[in-house]
Amino acid sequence: MASQDWFEKDFYAILGVPQDADEAAVKKAYRKLARKHHPDQNPGDAAAEQRFKDIGEANSVLSDPEKRREYDAVRQMARGGARFTAGGPGGPAGGGGFDDVFSSMFGGGGGGGQRVRYSTGGAGGAGQPNLEDLFGMFGGGGGAGQSYGGGAGFRAPTGPRKGGDLTARTSLPFRDAVEGATVTLGVAGGGTITTRIPAGVKDGQKIRLRGKGQPGDRGADPGDLILTVSVEKHPVFTREGDNLAIDLPVTFAEATLGATVSVPTLTGGPVKVRIAPGTPSGRVLRVKGRGVQVKGAPGDLMARVVVVVPQRLTDEAREAVEVLKTLDEGHDPRAELFENAGR
């Protein structure tokens, strides 16, 4: 999308690269200059700040193949490299057309392709191109400051442009993601950004940090930073929406006879929960309000009962289990399983 700046600024000179520089050379030059002129490296230096903005603008155009093609065409036209016809069909002999510029932009031109001529009459004067007419052919007539749509994507100047967005990634410990944290991020050019990560951010979530992107034109807002967050695993807690989940080991006796046991929480001290007599492994006990502390209603803590089978038994414990086995003879806990499997 062209602007008046494209007629006035030499982005190749700003980055110090030749016009045939490839993408890698443009990227290398931008990084070197951005690091040198970054405002963090030159506090209070207005000239360095403007230079940094010009470098960012030049990179945003030259690193984008489509923008770069349009920019090269516009610069060629500004230097007088395009040929204009001083009239329509039947006009003065020797006049050319916009062939040089538009054949490269639209794939037409040379050698038998269709040739279209455009008049330079109007405010441009005899023999001089009227740029208002030029832009008008993409979307109808209009004065300065009016937008023009169409295939070439040209647009009349619309004022200072907002800076481009940047992307970054960061990794957070599980607790920081749940409770929120202030982090410092490294950015291109060697600078840093300190920002607050809100409580409750999820693994893979994208956060838009307003005004933390590339600088805009003078008088325009900077772009945003799109931050993707990766959340590290916790050795005890997992997350299920706004709830926290935990596996709660209980003994066979506690599950069979019932008990009151302590459960750890992420946000504070332990809480007590009641294990009802005969609680099976896998039952979930809910502790209200001890999950992720988000705005509105906080999540809950979900404790899954896991009945622990003893790995070693004393002689007395083994005898007790043998007695229980004898008393439980005739009961098949898998009978219902086989009955339903045959349906």
- CATH of residue 78: 1.10.287.110
**292 domain-assigned:** yes
**117 domain-assigned:** yes
Does residue 107 sit in the same domain as residue 17? yes
Q: Which of 194, 216, 231 is the last residue of a domain?
A: 231
Does residue 116 sit in the same domain as residue 182? no
Give the C-alpha separation, 112 to 188, whole Å.
49
Give the C-alpha separation, 61 to 283, whole Å.
60
**147 domain-assigned:** no
Does residue 301 sit in the same domain as residue 324? yes
* CATH at residue 333: 2.60.260.20
Place 151 in a pLDDT band, splitting at 50, 70 and 90. very low
**219 domain-assigned:** yes
The pLDDT value given to residue 126: 42
The pLDDT value given to residue 104: 46
- Residue, of 325 and 228, whose pLDDT is higher: 228
Q: Which amino acid is at 130?
A: N
Residue count of the chain: 343
Q: Which of 183, 207, 231 is the last residue of a domain?
A: 231
pLDDT digits (tens, 9 = 90+) for 74-125: 777 766 544 444 444 444 444 444 444 444 444 444 444 433 333 334 444 4
**113 domain-assigned:** yes
Does residue 200 sit in the same domain as residue 120? no
Residue 336, domain extent: 238-341
Does residue 244 sit in the same domain as residue 226? no
- Residue, of 340 and 130, whose pLDDT is higher: 340
Phi, psi of 54 (to 5 degrees): -65, -40
Give the C-alpha separation, 143 to 151, whole Å.
19
Tokens representing residue 139 in the block: 């979307």
* Beta carbons within 8 Å of 276's beta carbon, 6+ residues apart: 258
Does residue 275 sit in the same domain as residue 291? yes
pTM, entire model: 0.49
Number of domains in the chain: 3
**142 domain-assigned:** no
The pLDDT value given to residue 218: 85
Per the listing, tokens 């005739």 go with: 330
Does residue 261 sit in the same domain as residue 323? yes
Does residue 246 sit in the same domain as residue 332? yes
**280 domain-assigned:** yes
- List C-alpha distances in Å: 309 to 88, 148, 250, 277, 281: 95, 76, 9, 17, 11
